[in-house]
Amino acid sequence: MDKNKVRLGIAPIGWTNDDMPDLGKENTFQQTVSEMALAGFTGSEVGSKYPRDPKILKPMLDLRGIQICNAWFSTFFADGEKARTIDEFIIHRDFLHAMGAKVIGCSEQSRSTQGTSRPVLEGRPIFTDSEWQLVANGYNELADLAAEKGMTVGLHHHMGTGIQTAKEIEHFLDIVNDDVYLLFDTGHAYYSEGSQEAMLQILKAHLPRINHVHLKDVRDSIVNEVRTHKLSFLEGVKKGTFTVPGDGIIQFKPVFELLEDFGYEGWIVVEAEQDPAKANPFEYALKARRYIQEVAGI
């Protein structure tokens, strides 16, 4: 891939899990961003331990050659919480803009199983037509608000939410305006659809609408355990559903080739939440960086 078009980041969720703060509670912000830089990454998303004042955060990252490229934002449009979502989004947008980010990754969390003990698959919501319209209207408004700052919004398809499957992703992109984009996540696509081919098909189908990429690998044995025993999303994470690229079942060379052939420009971010006690964050960050260098040449 072209180093002038693609930049590599990593998410802090491998060091400290915001949904399960006990996972990695010993890892400090300073340690996290220092190890990101040592591993060879130049971008980061934002975790709960990050200072939220750009005047404090930016100098700390500049010292390490790290830039903020995105940060998770939860929306609740299907639940009818538009006003609260919009108000919080504006604060989030302004913070990311001050940090120099161009992308805002959002996930529609209405009745999501994330952060709950409900089964990740059986317990997730199925939106009605009216709820889909609420989501579409909301995301169109978010895109307009992002554009005011020269930024774009991307929908993060996610396990346990109402926008998880290939069909739901397609439907979402069909009913929103063209300036609403997709945050493509290899791990969630594979987890949802169950195969390399299906994951790649989502990528192929929506390349023109992808404005941000999350790279995570999957362990099939844990996914099968989650399905068989109806486990929650977080139970799967603790057991090791996800890992860094090159350590699981996904073959990433076709992913990089599709992005390169299309001419993708932007950030590619390793985001592989694990239990830091079982998967040392620095060790796995290095493993991911070496694998990407070997397979993608960047």
Average pLDDT over residues 15-20: 87
Q: Outline where DSSP puts E strands in the chain.
A: 6-10, 43-44, 67-68, 73-75, 103-108, 152-156, 180-185, 210-215, 217-218, 242-243, 266-270
Provide the 3-class DSSP secondary structure of residue 245: coil
Please tell me the distance from the alpha carbon of residue 213 to that of residue 183, in angstroms, as a whole number.
Answer: 6
pLDDT band at 22 (very low <50, low <70, confident <90, very high): confident
pLDDT at 14: 93
Q: pLDDT for 140-179, tens place per residue? A: 999 999 999 999 999 999 999 999 999 999 999 999 999 9
pLDDT at 19: 82
pLDDT band at 192 (very low <50, low <70, confident <90, very high): very high
Mean residue pLDDT across the chain: 96
Please tell me the distance from the alpha carbon of residue 10 to that of residue 43, in angstroms, as a whole number.
Answer: 6
Question: Does residue 197 register a pLDDT over 90?
Answer: yes
| DSSP 8-state secondary structure symbol assigned to residue 27 | -
Please tell me the distance from the alpha carbon of residue 97 to that of residue 68, in angstroms, as a whole number.
Answer: 10
Q: pLDDT for 79-124, tens place per residue? A: 999 999 999 999 999 999 999 999 999 999 999 998 899 999 999 9
Question: Does residue 17 register a pLDDT over 90?
Answer: no
Q: Per-domain residue ranges for the chain?
A: 6-296
Query: In the CATH scheme, what is the code of domain 6-296?
Result: 3.20.20.150
- pTM metric for this prediction: 0.96
Give the rounded percent of residues in the chain with a pLDDT score beyond 90.
Answer: 93
pLDDT at 18: 83
Torsion, Cα of 172, 175, 155, 202 (10° steps):
50
pLDDT at 262: 97
